[in-house]
Amino acid sequence: MYPKIILDLILDLKKLPGIGEKSAERLALYLTQLEQDELELFGSHLKDLKTSIKYCKTCGLLTDDETCDICKNHNRSDETIMVLSDSKDVFAIEKTQTFFGKYHVLNGLIDFSRGIEPKDLNIDALAIRIKDTKEIIIATNSTVEGELTAQYIKTLLSREGLTISRLGYGLPVGADLKYADQLTLIKAVENRQKY
């Protein structure tokens, strides 16, 4: 019924989270009304997405360069490193403007049921960079995989003089960090608990 290219676009759009059949149809038809140069730009952004983004070689964060702006920033302390599963979560914490340490992004969580083991995550690089670190804040989500990964990292990195804490107070159990409101995130950072 729809022209083929619109059916194709509906399938593309349905892959996105929160976009069902009806929304995809509506968006695909709306796209036909955009200007050609807008569509070309949008299309080239999609094509270039994966080649344009890099992962910071120090911390694993999504970035434009070899090293991200946060790792480059000498005003930020190396003494505290917050460990997160995902770049999205770093962006959420950064928006609160209350954390001035460094980050380490695991780019995933341990999940044996899906075959994701510690070696598949950005964990080795963490073990290397924490020689002078005084505190590690583990900020993985409070899911089974998040807890398992937190436990693994705690066991792996424990040594005298290093405090390992876990984001705690304020973050509702089972909630996804990146959707939490800023106040909840601020509380969770302030009231982190020794792990």
| Residue 46 or 127 having the CB closest to its own copies | 46
| Residue 61 or 83 having the CB closest to its own copies | 61
Q: What is the largest CA-CA distance in the chain?
A: 68
59, 60, 63, 149: residue in contact with its own copies (rule CB under 8 A): 63
| Residue 4 or 119 having the CB closest to its own copies | 4
Scanning the structure block, which residue is given the tokens 């996804």?
176
Contact between 103 and 81 under an 8 Å Cβ cutoff? The reply is yes
- 27 near its own copies, judged by CB under 8 A: yes
Residue 49 CB contacts under 8 Å (≥ 6 apart), including other chains: none
20, 21, 40, 156: residue in contact with its own copies (rule CB under 8 A): 40
CA–CA distance, 103 with 137 (Å, rounded to integer): 9
Query: Nearest approach, Cβ of 85 to its own copies (angstroms)?
Result: 13
Helices (H), the chain: 4-14, 21-31, 36-52, 69-72, 87-96, 124-129, 144-157, 182-190
Query: Nearest approach, Cβ of 103 to its own copies (angstroms)?
Result: 12
48, 117, 124, 181: residue in contact with its own copies (rule CB under 8 A): 48
- 53 near its own copies, judged by CB under 8 A: yes
CA 82 to the chain's CA centroid = 12
Binding residue count for its own copies, defined by CB under 8 A: 48
Query: Nearest approach, Cβ of 90 to its own copies (angstroms)?
Result: 9
| Residue 12 or 135 having the CB closest to its own copies | 12
Judging by beta carbons within 10 Å of its beta carbon (0-12, 13-18, 19+), is residue 150 exposed, middle or buried? buried
CA–CA distance, 22 with 19 (Å, rounded to integer): 8
Residues that bind its own copies (CB under 8 A): 1-6, 8-9, 12, 15-18, 23, 25-27, 29-32, 34, 36, 38-50, 52-54, 62-64, 69, 87-88, 91, 94, 178
